[in-house]
Amino acid sequence: MADDAPLSLVAAFPPAQRADWLALVEKTLAGADFDTTLTSRTADGLIVQPLYTADDATPSPAQRRAASADPTRPWDLRTLIDHPDPVRANADALADLTGGAASVVVKLDPSGVQGVAVGGQDDLARVLDGVLLDLAPVALDAGLMGGPAAAWLAALAKGAPAAPLAFNLDPLSAYALVGAAPMALSESAAQMASLAQTYPKATLYLASGVVVHEAGGAAAQELGFALAAALAYAKALAAAGLALPSAFQGVALSLAADADYFLTLAKFRAARHLMTRLAEACDVALTPRIEARSSRRMLAKLDPWVNLLRLASAAFGAALGGADVIQLDAFTQPLGHPSSLARRQARNIQLVLMEESELGRVADPAAGSWFLDRLTDQIARAAWTQFQIIEGEGGALAALASGRLAAEVADARNRLAADIAAGKPPLIGVTKYLNADVSAVEVETVDPAPFAKPYPQGSAPPPAAFTPFRPWRAAEPFEV
């Protein structure tokens, strides 16, 4: 008998019902409480269920990446340059760019303690010697000296108006770290508005929530602060004379990516949705540019080889969440300056995910997942609430100056630390499966004193006037 009808393998089975599943679960639990045993909560208090069905479905947010520095790649592979010696920093930058990176971020610190000892344009020129600024995007991480550093980079790129520079001023993060606001946002906005006329492809400000994450903040706190910073920067640029669409286009969002790849994925999806909606509320159509920086609070000194897994998970979540730029730290970051092996691994993790696993082939792999769409929606709503609280307080700077945000972030950090101390979640290689025979890793110990330069006038860290944010690592209590 000929029958071309497709064979159904489920026709003989009745439709699965949630009530039937619950009955089996209750039998297995043997009297244990369902919510206590099978549901969990994020640091924001968002409930994660053990099972999601079509009844939990929420619309998938539109996900569209910004243009990549390399059009053949789905995202911009960025590496960190922070060796105190400008000559060595230049060698690292050139090695990274020839070894697979598409761009670099240069962290500047005249003292050399937290970055490259750069105190003027000549020092920065030494760091970027041989880097083709019109081809390889160069981003800055200059803290309080963001204005002078932007002027130096602009001068070095003179004659290349199409250079995709990333001045990345982020004074609010700098203020959060030092506990003081030595100047108003308007003082840098005029300079940035002027540079936008010369370098129309440049990123002017970086609205980052990373400072909140690294201090122990939860995902909604981090994203809410980043949105408030983005609005503050866009408004400052508009007040300085830049058209509002150009002002929003000149602001990129930056978030931390950590080893919880589902949470990271949902956070980045929520960030793109909220940034788009924020611009729409200002009558601006925007394709947001979102950067991912690997979490430092997730890295450990004990068994640092496990950091490779944490970094791969972070990159996985950020990539599938739609990040436009991903920068990973070296797996030895808590121990000292990285060896060539560690720098190569920071690049190759992304190259494998990008070119072998082809994570960028699908625009939004999470779309249609009841769990991930719901988690994205939960984070977006919680972050928007945080954003509204900050705006109701007078904006991001007011939230910092009042100490309210720092206190709430500290509370979130303390809750997370208590959970980790209780073993939930476990830290692999630290609180669980500690490998006492782990082989040592190579790091470089550098005395920054020989490379130190004076701070440019007005850019030295001032005395604290309000509660600063303190970077924190989850593994620290177990490393003594």
10-residue mean pLDDT profile of the chain (480 residues): values are 70 83 91 91 93 91 79 93 98 98 97 97 98 95 97 95 96 97 94 96 97 98 98 98 97 98 97 97 96 98 96 98 97 96 97 95 93 97 98 97 97 96 92 86 95 92 95 93
Rounded-to-integer distance, Cα 455 and Cα 433, Å? 45
Are 332 and 307 a contacting pair, CB within 8 Å?
Answer: yes
Which domains does the chain possess?
A: 76-402 (3.20.20.240)
Rounded-to-integer distance, Cα 259 and Cα 251, Å? 26
Q: What is the DSSP letter of 56?
A: G
DSSP percent split of the chain into helix, strand, coil, nearest 5: 45, 10, 45
pLDDT of residue 17: 85
Cα distances (Å, whole numbers) of residue 102 to 131, 314, 353: 11, 19, 15
pLDDT of residue 2: 55
pLDDT of residue 457: 87
Burial class for 326, CB neighbours closer than 10 Å (0-12, 13-18, 19+): buried
Rounded-to-integer distance, Cα 358 and Cα 153, Å? 34
Cα-Cα-Cα-Cα torsion 142, 145, 150, 151, nearest 10 degrees, comes to -150
pLDDT of residue 1: 47
Rounded-to-integer distance, Cα 27 and Cα 73, Å? 50
Q: Which of 88, 87, 78 is nearest to 337 (CA)?
A: 88
CB neighbour list of residue 12: distance below 8 Å, 6 or more residues apart: none
Burial class for 14, CB neighbours closer than 10 Å (0-12, 13-18, 19+): exposed
Q: Where are the beta strands (DSSP E) in 299-373?
A: 325-327, 337-338
Q: Which of 346, 259, 319 is nearest to 295 (CA)?
A: 259
Backbone angles phi, psi at 16, to 5 degrees: -70, 135
pLDDT of residue 344: 97
pLDDT of residue 220: 98
Q: pTM (2 decimals)? A: 0.94
Rounded-to-integer distance, Cα 423 and Cα 441, Å? 27
